[in-house]
Amino acid sequence: MKHIFSAFLFGLFLFSTNYLQAQDDTEFCDQTNALITLLKNEHLSPKPVNDTFSEAVFDIFLDRIDPYKRFLTKKDSSFLAQDRHLIDNYVTTGDCSFLNKYTSTLNEKIAAARTLLEQYRTKALDYTGKDTLYFSSKDFDEYLENEIAFNDYWSKGVRYKVLSTLIEKDSVIANTKKNFTTLEASVRTEIINKELCKLERLATEEELQLYVQEHFLNAIAAYHDPNSTFFNVSDKSSFENSLSTHSLSFGFYVEHNNNNDLVIVGIIPGSAAFFNENFEEDDIILKVESNGSELSTRCIDREKFDDFIFEPSHKEVLFTLKKKNGKTKEVLLEKSDKGEPTNVVTSYVLTGEKPVGYLQFSSFYTDFESPNGLGVANDVAKQLYTLKRSTIEGLIIDLRNNGGGSLKEAVDLCGMFIDKGPVTIFSASEDEVELYGDSKKGVLFAKPIIVLVNSFSASASELFAGVMQDYNRALIVGTTTYGKSSSQVILPLQENSNLGFSKVTTHQFFRVTGKSIQSQGIIPDISLPDIYESFSQPESSLPFSLANTSMPVTMAHKPYPNIQFENIKANSLVRIKNNGMFNAIIDINHLLLNKVVKPNYRYPLTLDSVFNDETESISMWENYSTLQESYHSKIIIKNTQQKEKLLQYDPEKKVTNTKLREDLQKDPILEETYLILSGLLTKNK
CATH of residue 508's domain is 3.90.226.10
Look up the domain containing 309 and give its range.
247-334
Is the pLDDT at 371 greater than 70, yes or no? Answer: no
Does 197 map to a domain? Answer: yes
H helices of 432-577, in order, are 460-470, 566-577
Segment 58-64 shows an average pLDDT of: 96
- H/E stretch holding 89 reads helix 87-93
**pLDDT tens column, 450-508:** 999 999 999 999 999 999 999 999 999 999 999 999 988 889 998 888 888 999 999 99
Assigned domain for 617 exists: no
Residue 675: inside a domain:
no
- Do residue 350 and residue 330 come from a single domain? no
Average pLDDT, the chain: 87
What integer is the mean pLDDT of 212-223? 96
pLDDT at 1 over 60: no
Whether residues 220 and 258 share a domain: the answer is no
Q: What is the mean pLDDT of residues 384-394?
A: 94
> What percentage of the chain has pLDDT greater than the value 70?
90
pLDDT over threshold 60, residue 193 = yes
Q: Crossing angle, helix 147-169 and helix 180-200, to 10 degrees?
A: 120
Out of 334, 361, 378, a domain closes at: 334
Query: Does 144 reside within a domain?
Result: yes
Segment 400-453, tens digit of pLDDT? 999 998 888 999 999 999 998 999 998 887 678 889 988 788 899 999 999 999
Pick from 513, 485, 483: nearest CA to 422: 513
- Indicate if 427 and 532 belong to the same structural domain: yes
The span from the CA of 676 to the CA of 475, in Å, is: 9
User: Does residue 356 sit in the same domain as residue 327?
Assistant: no
53 residue type, one letter:
F
Instruction: Tell me the pLDDT band of 659, cut-offs 50, 70 and 90.
Output: confident
Statement: residue 127 has pLDDT above 90: yes
Give the lowest-confidence range in 300-304, 465-469, 586-590: 300-304
- Strongest mean pLDDT among 57-61, 371-375, 429-433, 491-495: 57-61
pLDDT exceeds cutoff 90 at 537? no
Q: What are phi and psi of 559, to 5 degrees?
A: -70, 155
The answer to whether residues 375 and 341 touch, using CB atoms and an 8 Å cutoff, is no
Q: Are residues 217 and 251 in the same domain?
A: no
Residues 6+ apart with CB under 8 A from 639: 348, 349, 647, 657, 661
**Residue 9, pLDDT above cutoff 60:** no
pLDDT in tens, 311-357: 888 889 999 998 877 788 999 998 876 544 555 889 999 999 899 99
pLDDT computed for residue 7 by the predictor = 35
pTM of the model: 0.82
Domain annotation covers residue 33: no
116 and 137 housed in the same domain: yes
Residue 157 and residue 57 in one domain: yes
Is 356 inside any structural domain?
yes
pLDDT bracket for residue 5 (50, 70, 90):
very low
- pLDDT computed for residue 366 by the predictor: 83
Q: What's the whole-number mean pLDDT along residues 139-155?
A: 90
Residue 17: pLDDT band with limits 50, 70, 90 = very low
| pLDDT at residue 269 in the model | 62
> How many CA within 13 A on the CB side of residue 58?
23
User: In the prediction, which pLDDT does 332 show?
Assistant: 93
Q: How confident is the model at residue 242 (pLDDT cuts 50, 70, 90)?
A: low
CATH code of residue 326? 2.30.42.10
The answer to whether residue 631 sits within a structural domain is no
Do 130 and 278 lie in one domain? The reply is no
Length of the chain: 685
Q: What is the DSSP string of 597-609?
A: IS-EEEEESSHHH
Residue 658 has pLDDT above 90, yes or no: no
Q: Same domain, yes or no, for 126 and 69?
A: yes
Q: Average the pLDDT over 518-522 and give the result.
A: 93
Residue 270's pLDDT band (boundaries 50, 70, 90)? low
| Residue 397 and residue 328 in one domain | no
Name, in order, each residue with C-beta under 8 angstroms of 95's C-beta and a sequence gap of 6 or more: 29, 89
Whether residues 317 and 417 fall in one domain: no
Number of domains in the chain: 3
Q: What is the largest CA-CA distance in the chain?
A: 77
Cβ 248 vs Cβ 86: under 8 Å: no
Q: Which amino acid appears at position 116 of this protein?
A: L
* pLDDT over threshold 70, residue 624: yes
Q: Compute the average pLDDT of residues 67-86.
A: 94
Per-residue confidence (pLDDT) for residue 235, from 0 to 100: 66
pLDDT computed for residue 10 by the predictor: 47
Shared domain check, 394 and 324: no
Say which range, 49-53, 104-108, 343-347, 401-405, has the weakest mean pLDDT. 343-347
pLDDT of residue 160: 94
Residue 681 to residue 596: CA distance in whole angstroms: 40
Q: 523: which DSSP letter? A: P
Residue 623 lies in a domain: no
The 8-class DSSP code of residue 137 comes to: G
Please indicate whether residue 432 or residue 516 has the higher confidence score (pLDDT): 516
